[in-house]
Amino acid sequence: MGKVAVGATVVCTAAVCAVAVLVVRRRMQSSGKWGRVSAILKAFEEDCATPISKLRQVADAMAVEMHAGLASDGGSKLKMLISYVDNLPSGDEKGLFYALDLGGTNFRVMRVLLGGKQDRVAKQEFEEVSIPPHLMTGGSDELFNFIAEALAKFVATESEDFHLPEGRQRELGFTFSFPVRQTSLSSGSLIKWTKGFSIDEAVGEDVVGALKKAMERVGLDMRVAALVNDTVGTLAGGRYYNPDVAAAVILGTGTNAAYVERATAIPKWHGPLPKSGEMVINMEWGNFRSSHLPLTEFDHTLDFESLNPGEQILEKIISGMYLGEILRRVLLKMAEEAAFFGDTVPSKLRIPFIIRTPHMSAMHNDTSPDLKIVGSKIKDILEVPTTSLKMRKVVISLCDIIATRGARLSAAGIYGILKKLGRDTTSKDKEEEMQKSVIAMDGGLFEHYKQFSECMESSLKELLGDEASGTIEVIHSNDGSGIGAALLAASHSLYLEES
């Protein structure tokens, strides 16, 4: 698990980004084509601006929405879902635990042997299984039978190293990355399918119940100890190694955040207070929206043409699913209104999502003198055989504007969580040293898009100030959806007293 101090000396202020864009723009101040390209670039840069004052407004709005979502269901754009996880892993957990991670066209089955604080994850094994397309749109029993059969086959390969004490039932953490209305730690009804699945009879049903019945049908004796979302799993994985982890954020294809809240600060919780006094909240922060978010004409049209207009607005401007698409839309406007690629608009440029965020990251990371990678990506993706250095520099400027906005808004979201928890500042009045807060991060966007993650971390430091940022750390905590689920099965095991 890698970690990066928030105090990393990466400069990513709005002013510095503006200087880089200004250099490109001045070189284009001429009549005709380049004048229009320059005007589009300038307007886009201004609309995407994230000065520190705006980031503070976004963070304040995030904290307000968090309060509202905790007060009542439907009271906020943030769902603030109660996860029923009130006992995060401590590192003391021992024994054999399984995980099932279902989040797309493949699923993973995993087993881990936990050895307490000394050995941690002593041994782990996993297998990935592809789901045949006909099962994604067939019947519920057929899908869950297939999953249970694969799980039973995997259990059958358990070696002597993974010893299960006599009289114990195997326990499983189930990561189910589809919208679920959770009703307890180990039950939840499916709200809707996404990612190409469409099994109508399963909607509204308890997904754990469906899995249990399938396991019974194939003769597999296993208890589902926890139904978890991948962000909650990331939080569990982070806490297992570091007791100061207070929140987890996923920045990948999509985005979400989860954090540890005081149980007494959740007015909509009507059950008995957990012994730990804490409850993990799944924010579903991708659905956040605010008048303070810097939205452009391209964001509005992208949202309007999407499958879920008006929803997931934050996700549509900061996550990996959309950054490359925003770039495509700006380039299309330049091509149509300023003949950026010549007299004809490249036909490939009209295809939504043809520019993916990994393409954008590769271009943004191009440090060659002639920006050779930018040229080759434009050629491969858009089938534009030649581009001038001037054009390539415009593409780099657009990447910088889009990534900077996304990274700085991500930082504002994290700052909003810290504000809600009262960990955003140091107080001279407090006799005690301020509590250290660690943010566990995961997702391909954070892990692989260097400019994005560095800009996010430096922007968080800028928001916190030097003194407070000394108490905040950002770490990379990967595979929350696998290891995290197994760890939550362990921390909610029936056999805790015996471990």
pLDDT tens digits along 272-295: 899 999 999 999 999 999 999 999
Over residues 57-100, the pLDDT tens digits come to 999 999 999 999 999 998 899 999 999 999 999 989 999 999 99
Paired strand residues for 247: 259, 439
Over residues 43-60, the pLDDT tens digits come to 999 999 999 999 999 999
Other C-beta atoms lying within 10 Å of the C-beta of residue 407: 28
pLDDT attached to residue 86 = 92
pLDDT attached to residue 77 = 93
Q: What is the CA radius of gyration of the chain?
A: 24
In total, the chain counts a number of residues equal to 499
pLDDT attached to residue 191 = 87
The single-letter code of the amino acid at 148 is A
Burial 243-264 (b: 16+ CB within 10 A, else e): eebbbbbbbbbbbbbbbbbebe
Nearest to 172 by CA among 100, 233, 90: 100
- Could you give the CA distance from residue 238 to residue 259 in angstroms, rounded to a whole number? 11
Catalytic amino acids? 195, 230
- Contact indicator for 313, 62 with CB cutoff of 8 Å: no
Is the predicted pLDDT of residue 19 greater than 70, yes or no? no
pLDDT attached to residue 220 = 96
pLDDT attached to residue 160 = 85
Tell me the mean pLDDT in the region 8-27. Answer: 58
- Could you give the CA distance from residue 410 to residue 422 in angstroms, rounded to a whole number? 18
More confident residue, 426 or 257: 257
Element (H, E) at 189: strand 187-190
φ, ψ at 113 (rounded to 5°): -110, 115
Nearest to 178 by CA among 154, 150, 152, 208: 208
- Could you give the CA distance from residue 42 to residue 36 in angstroms, rounded to a whole number? 10
